[in-house]
Amino acid sequence: MILRRNSLRRLAGAAGIVAGLTSSAAAGDIVWARYGDIDSLDPHRATSTLSLQVWSLLYDTLLATDAEGLPVPHLAKSWTSNEEGTEYTFSLQDGVMCHDGTPLDANDVKYTIDAAFSEETPSVTKGSWGPITSAEVIDPLTIKLTLEKPFVAMIPFLADSFSSIICDSNGDGFGTTTAIGSGPWKLVSWTKGDRIVLEKNPDYKNFGKLAENPGAPHEDGLIIAVVPEPQARLAALKTGEVHIAEPPFDDVPSIKESGELDIIVAENTGQNVFWEFAVHRPPFNDKRARLAVAHATDAAAAISLIYGDLSVQENCPVSRGVFGNDQDFCAQYRPGYDPEKSKALLAELGYSMDKPLETALLVWTGGNRQKLGEVFQAQLAEVGIKASIEIMDIGSLNARVRQENETTTGTTGSMDMMTWSWYDPDILYALWHTPGAYRGYTSPELDAMLDETRVLTDQDARKAKVQEVFKYLLENAIHVPLYTPGWEWVFAVRPEVDGFFVAPFVYPNFSDVKLGG
């Protein structure tokens, strides 16, 4: 559509109608638009990235994450543990206030943990807290957690918003109409499916969160609006109705070129996109078939074609920013792009260009992943693998992958481009320890290694064990890493917004934001 913008603007001006007339945001409000809404304001009731991002604004955590993704002190100024790793004692910062003006102390931490382990309504991430048997208030600023057995992934968990500290003054309506925490922003209202309105917490003290600002946010308010249609988000960014939003992918190059908006790409997202296979039936019950796929995949070329420089190839089963990730280490074991090797393996299995290996290729819809799937499909065809792409939503994909793993007969394979994000390599335990999140590959050998990654308290020893797991997964082509990041990681920002950044694991931060003229 070609329009003479200026003449139309003049027409609008002449009619006495000014752009932005209808904007409901006040002058000091930052407006951030996202494609969807949170599930709950209660950190124990949901798991989506959209929810986590909002909790990180409302609540604080005992620990925080530094720029490299490692846990650092926050509400807890220090912590100690016994030698066995079954008791942790945290000393809390003094003078932290909840949004309702009550002090935040060890009782609030106990309240949060008791709620996570409640008999009636336990947290949906109860398993990730670890085998905590008690939370004991030693004094108002000291809390002791006792674990049934060691669980080292608890420390990084306490830096993630899943473990947000809820003030014990939260009563009825918690999660839907109230959300009392001690974070930089206070809840004003939440209209489900439409918007969340926040105001700054003037008493905020930042101890360890990544932000230059040591206190309350600079701007008065933050509106988190739901705008599902990418083109509408872009239009709202252009009119100034919205300050920050995920742009439509295909428009990123032209946005960059015009310089109208800034493009910010999140780093250390922990997002991992990888190949996995239905391993309980032919052909992928044979390691050689899985390796053939891995060797036929040129991830770097495919990503560059579809995402340009917005994403990079990943060599490890957990992505950059997650404990244990080491590109050089993983590159030694990751089956690299080598079509000739792939063809040789296929020939060993009795396949050829005339008699191709047939498989379904399941892909999660959105984010241009279907286009990426087509590039991979073409790469696989080059060596004689005939992949039929099936595109589906994430819920169906999860269900289907499990169903494929539970199907033990037939000769047509199934492989999928799976996507997971987690702050710790403990995700590999969930995926590949018996019985396995998708009932996929498991072995006693791998189980033993994964068990150890949960109990080794010495960081170096744990890192070595985690990397042993990487080596096993890569050499056996069980979890073939493709790229990172993979979803919701690109932000378009209006030029008057200053100080916006995205902390590791895709947590946008607004404490430093100033809206200029």
Partner 1 sequence: MWRFLGTRLAMGALTIWITTILVTLLIHAVPGDPVQIMYAQSQGTTPEQIEEVRRSLGLDRPIPVQYAMFIERLLHGDLGNTIRGGQPVLDVIMQRLPNTLILACAAMFIAILIGVPIGFLAAYREGSVVDISLMVLAIAGISMPHFWLGLMLLFFFALELGWLPVSGSGPLNLILPALTLGLSNAAIFARLTRSSMIDVMSQDYVQTAFAKGLPKALVLRRHVLRAGLLPVVTMMGLQFAFMMGGTIVVENIFSWNGVGRMAVEAIFQRDYPIIQGFILTFSVVVVTVAIVIDALYAVLDPRIRRA
Which stretches of the chain bind partner 1, using CB under 8 A?
A: 1, 3, 5, 8-9, 11-12, 15, 17-20, 22-24, 33, 36, 38-40, 42, 45-48, 121-129, 162, 175-176, 191-195, 225-229, 231-232, 235-236, 238-239, 241-242, 393-395, 398-399, 402-403, 422, 427, 430, 437-438
CB of 41 to partner 1, least distance (A): 9
CB of 194 to partner 1, least distance (A): 4
CB of 38 to partner 1, least distance (A): 8
Nearest to 41 by CA among 245, 217, 223, 196: 196
CB of 469 to partner 1, least distance (A): 16
Which tokens belong to 302? 């495919």
Q: How many residues does the chain have?
A: 517
CB of 429 to partner 1, least distance (A): 9
CB of 148 to partner 1, least distance (A): 14
Smaller CB separation from partner 1, 169 or 398: 398
CB of 389 to partner 1, least distance (A): 19
Torsion sign (Cα): 295, 297, 298, 300: negative
Instruction: State how beta strands 312-313 and 271-277 pair.
Output: unpaired
CB of 363 to partner 1, least distance (A): 15
CB of 219 to partner 1, least distance (A): 19
Smaller CB separation from partner 1, 67 or 235: 235
Smaller CB separation from partner 1, 12 or 331: 12
Smaller CB separation from partner 1, 173 or 202: 173
Smaller CB separation from partner 1, 168 or 241: 241
Nearest to 40 by CA among 54, 27, 26, 23: 54
Give the separation between CA 413 and CA 415, rounded to whole angstroms: 7
Smaller CB separation from partner 1, 122 or 336: 122
What crossing angle do the helices spanning 287-296 and 369-383 adopt, rounded to 10°?
A: 110
**H/E segment holding residue 341:** helix 339-348
Give the separation between CA 496 and CA 517, rounded to whole angstroms: 6
Q: What are the φ/ψ torsions at residue 230 (nearest 5 degrees)?
A: -55, -40
Give the separation between CA 473 and CA 441, rounded to whole angstroms: 10
Q: What are the φ/ψ torsions at residue 235 (nearest 5 degrees)?
A: -60, -45
Torsion angle in degrees (nearest 10) through CA of 451, 453, 454, 455:
90
Instruction: State how beta strands 221-226 and 29-34 pair.
Output: parallel
CB neighbour list of residue 455: distance below 8 Å, 6 or more residues apart: 85, 149, 150, 151, 152
Smaller CB separation from partner 1, 122 or 215: 122
Query: Exposed e or buried b for every residue in 173-208, given b needs 16+ CB within 10 A?
Result: ebbeebbbbbbbbbbeebeeeebbbbbbbeebbbbb
Smaller CB separation from partner 1, 370 or 377: 370
Query: Exposed e or buried b for every residue in 244-273, given b needs 16+ CB within 10 A?
Result: bbbbbbeebeebeeeeebeebebbbbbbbb
Smaller CB separation from partner 1, 371 or 439: 439
Smaller CB separation from partner 1, 128 or 467: 128
**H/E segment holding residue 87:** strand 87-92
Give the separation between CA 51 and CA 36, rounded to whole angstroms: 10
CB of 447 to partner 1, least distance (A): 17
CB of 204 to partner 1, least distance (A): 26
Smaller CB separation from partner 1, 195 or 295: 195
Q: What are the φ/ψ torsions at residue 290 (nearest 5 degrees)?
A: -65, -40
